[in-house]
Structure 1
């Protein structure tokens, strides 16, 4: 019955990824081209026996949407960030970067991302220009998500209940119907030429910094969940495959995929379960089911999950690790600047303060 346990784990992670895919559509990303990413990483993971899958990731989408101003800038940020990560993955410099900055700064940056997620969730709950009539949806999503997580301590239940209940409220009480941009619904590849400006450079560097921390923390946590010693996750392979996936998809206007903490790692066959999850997600995108769901799911319905992810998951774990080191002031500055500005500025600020304290 191993196959049934593998399938159930895969479906659980798919349910976790669907609302974040809807969040990507809300930013104007096409999702059909992301099929390429899921199939590519499936092949790499199966070939190299890697247990760490990729999927839509709220953190990277939040950072991209917070810094960029339109879909073309978003895809350009993804392209630039994936190019940086590809160089890091191919050259094997991920661990060198961590040694250079130190764990305190890296974990401080990740804690700052938790602050950023909570801030974005509250902004979404207040309502955007497109959803002024649906402000209560976001607050309901946050309320349901917090209650569900406190009772179950389970992110899958949290995201499912908060998104489903808040979306039902939006559709039946506030009569919500979304008009998605044409490019979001297209089931073909459309080349999107990258552009460069100050925001895109800052966004690409921020995304790369975020992915350095995510690949280390999420990748290693996923590896630990297998119970296999030593940790079966090859960080350089994970970084390279994720970068290649985003590099290709971004040129086609597609939504990015990143490293996630995946429940498939606890399945009897973690590699098979992870590959199965990505193939199911690819099938959903190929058949065009995600845009159909997106018509009835307002972007503010994801606010609850972002809030819980930031306040209860990302911030406490990373802040605790960061502040227990020898230089808590460096970690504090890094997380505050990251939360208020962006991950790259936070990482840089922490590094500069660390050097100054060494001289002082």
Structure 2
């Protein structure tokens, strides 16, 4: 009955990814070309026997939505960011970058991202208070009772959507979001896009390291079966193609498929199911009746309770606690790239002039 357990794990991760896919549509991303990202990484994982799948990731979507003004800017940020990550993955420099910066600064950056997610959630609630605050309330109560993110996202999104149905809520999604055609989006380059791409790359470095290794640990295999360079390269390659077609980014996630009897097969099943949902156009049908702010509760819990406390504890306990604190605050107020660069300048620059923090 291994196949049934693999299938159930895959379906669970798909259900977790659907609300974040709806969030991607609310940011103007086309879901049809995104299907090919799931297919590509599924193929690579099958050939390489990798247990780490990709899916829609709330953190990267929120960051790109915050940094980019429209679809072209957001797609350009993803394209350039994915180009940087592809080079990093192909050259195997990810471990070197992480080792140079240190776990404290990486954790500080991730903690700052947690606060950034909470801020975005509150902004969403302010824009659509009747749905946003309900989502945050449902998510808070559900997480306090269950301590489970899957239940949290399910109850908050479904509950908010049911309430929205009573108000006859409908949203007209742009044609390029719902169409099952491929349309080229020409990248543009500017200082703003470069900053955005560097911020997205910094977030992905931290997410690949933490989420990727956690997924590997869930398999119970030793040593950890996740190849970070392969994960980084395949994810970046998928984003490179779909960003040129206006598709949404797919990133590393903590996936319950890793705890299935056959984690590689379960992860591939999850990505194939998601690909089928996108190719058949089922997600846009949901997106028309589910408020984008239904995801606000999940973002708030993810940022304040899941990401921030653990990473802040790691960041603020050690010899570089002050530098890590500055990194955390700058990340939360500006972006991940500014936060990491500030931390790196303080870590390596102050000793050169005989100062320390």
Alpha-carbon distance in 2 for matches of 1:41, 1:118? 30
Alpha-carbon distance in 2 for matches of 1:354, 1:32? 44
Number of the residue aligned with 1:126: 126
Number of the residue aligned with 2:303: 310
Check if 1:358 corresponds to 2:351: yes
Check if 1:91 corresponds to 2:91: yes
Number of the residue aligned with 2:81: 81
Number of the residue aligned with 1:282: 275
Q: 1:1-360 to 2 correspondence within 5 Å?
A: 1-127=1-127, 134-172=128-166, 174-359=167-352, 360=355
CA shift digits 1:154-184 (9 cap, x unpaired): 1111001100001111221x32100001100
**What is the alpha-carbon root mean square deviation over aligned residues?**
0.8
CA shift digits 1:223-243 (9 cap, x unpaired): 000000000000000000000
The count of aligned residue pairs is: 353
CA shift digits 1:261-295 (9 cap, x unpaired): 00000000000000000000000000000000000
Q: Secondary structure at the match of 1:187?
A: coil
CA shift digits 1:201-246 (9 cap, x unpaired): 1110000000000000000000000000000000000000000000
Q: Post-superposition, which runs of at least 4 consecutive aligned residues in structure 1 deviate over 4 A?
A: none
Deviation of 1:305 (Å): 0.3
Alpha-carbon distance in 1 for matches of 2:182, 2:313? 44
Alpha-carbon distance in 2 for matches of 1:35, 1:22? 14
CA shift digits 1:53-110 (9 cap, x unpaired): 0000000001101111001101000000000000000000001111221111111000
Q: Which runs of 5+ in 2 are unaligned?
A: none
Q: Secondary structure at the match of 2:171?
A: coil
CA shift digits 1:112-135 (9 cap, x unpaired): 0000000000000001xxxxxx42
Deviation of 1:325 (Å): 2.0
Q: Which runs of 5+ in 1 are unaligned?
A: 128-133
Deviation of 1:355 (Å): 1.9
